[in-house]
Amino acid sequence: MSLAIGQQAPDFNLYDTEKKIVTLSGQKGSNILLLFFPLAFTGVCTKELCSVRDNIAAYNNVNAKVFAISVDSPQTLARFKEEQHLNFTLLSDFNKEASEAYGCAYNAFIGWMKGVSKRSAFIIDKQGVVQYAEVLENAGELPDFEKINAALASLN
């Protein structure tokens, strides 16, 4: 079951690409855009995250921190971040705990991979409350960034 607007967002402890722990609770006081994505180095995921990279000023202008989460290892995400020149934090949910807590883990992805993150977007406000939630069943689709941007702008 995915999260609903108005719910307290589940905390997480995830490693970033520098193998440092990042927690959601440590982000209180900031608006957060959490983007779950299936796998690094895949076409749609690269397109999505490069679009965020190219539009990072829009997120900075509304004082939102961007975190992108996948079940890839920190080492894989570090290479992906470097190759794509991504300018926001990538987090490894290798143990699939955050994906499950946010209700966005596939039972089976492309037939045999279990626990891969569904492409999803969550906006979490400064108090840790979910203000936007979008979980896509089709990994080939992208989140609705117009709605995401509107929701972020409304928080300021």
34 strand-pairing partners: 67, 122
104 assigned to active site:
no
Please give the full DSSP string across 64-121, using - where no structure is assigned. EEEEEEESS-HHHHHHHHHHHT--SEEEE-TT-HHHHHTT-B-SSBTTTB-SPBPPEE
- In a 10 Å sphere around its CB, with 0-12 CB exposed, 13-18 middle and 19+ buried, how is residue 156 labelled? exposed
Q: Which amino acid is at 17?
A: T
Q: Give Cα 44 distance to the centre of its chain.
A: 14
Catalytic residue among 24, 33, 40, 45: 45
The 3-state DSSP class for residue 145 equals helix
The catalytic residue positions are: 45
